[in-house]
Amino acid sequence: MRDPYDYYITPEEYEIAEKNGVCASTLRSRIYDLCWSKESAINTPPIKNHLWREVKDIALSNGIAKNTFEKRIKLGWNLNRAITQRPMNSKEIAKMREQKKKRVFTNEQIKRARLNGIGYSRLWERVKKYRWDVERAINTPILSKSQVGIMAKEASPWSKMVIPSREERMKRRKLTYIAN
């Protein structure tokens, strides 16, 4: 448990923090709200983001707001691209979505899958969701419930256990009779 005097900030500590670039409100916030130790609150300089101030004029002239710029930097865009590439309008977004919706498979691949009893949605699920290669997704037929059960039984560690039959258990059972 912390000592109550750990929360009291002396005027000397304010001066030391000011020399380290930490203003009084930041120091109070770090100690009272964020529960930092005094030493780290005083000695850790604040992270100041001067990047927006430097590129603000260029970004705003390209129609890029501060939040958009910060999000792009956070996503890993390089500085030049983040301030020069203008945001997309709704028509461009709709066009990009249409391109993403285009089919992944050729008509011939879809026909081969149908011959194996696999529909388009199952084929798409196998390739996109389960990361199967296209040929495996097309050529592997859908298993029936009984086939799935047999495969699960073979894979189960319980199937490797030897459980004696009822007759074998009855033979080993010791019977005691009470004679009158």
3-state SS, one letter per residue, for the chain: CCCHHHHCCCHHHHHHHHHCCCCHHHHHHHHHHCCCCHHHHHHCCCCCCCHHHHHHHHHHHCCCCHHHHHHHHHCCCCHHHHHHCCCCCHHHHHHHHHHHHCCCCCHHHHHHHHHCCCCHHHHHHHHHHCCCCHHHHHHCCCCCHHHHHHHHHHHCHHHHCCCCCHHHHHHHCCCCCCCC
Tokens 């590439």 belong to residue? 85
Half-sphere exposure of 137 (CA within 13 A, CB side): 21
Q: What's the CA gap between 118 and 127, in Å, rounded?
A: 12
Q: What's the CA gap between 9 and 27, in Å, rounded?
A: 9
- Select from 148, 146, 123, 147 the least CA-distant residue to 136: 123
pLDDT tens for the chain, 180 residues: list them: 567 767 788 999 999 999 998 999 999 998 888 888 889 999 988 876 678 888 889 999 999 999 998 898 888 888 899 999 988 888 988 888 887 776 678 889 999 999 999 998 999 899 988 888 999 999 988 888 998 888 888 888 887 777 777 888 777 776 666 665
- Write down the pTM of the prediction: 0.36
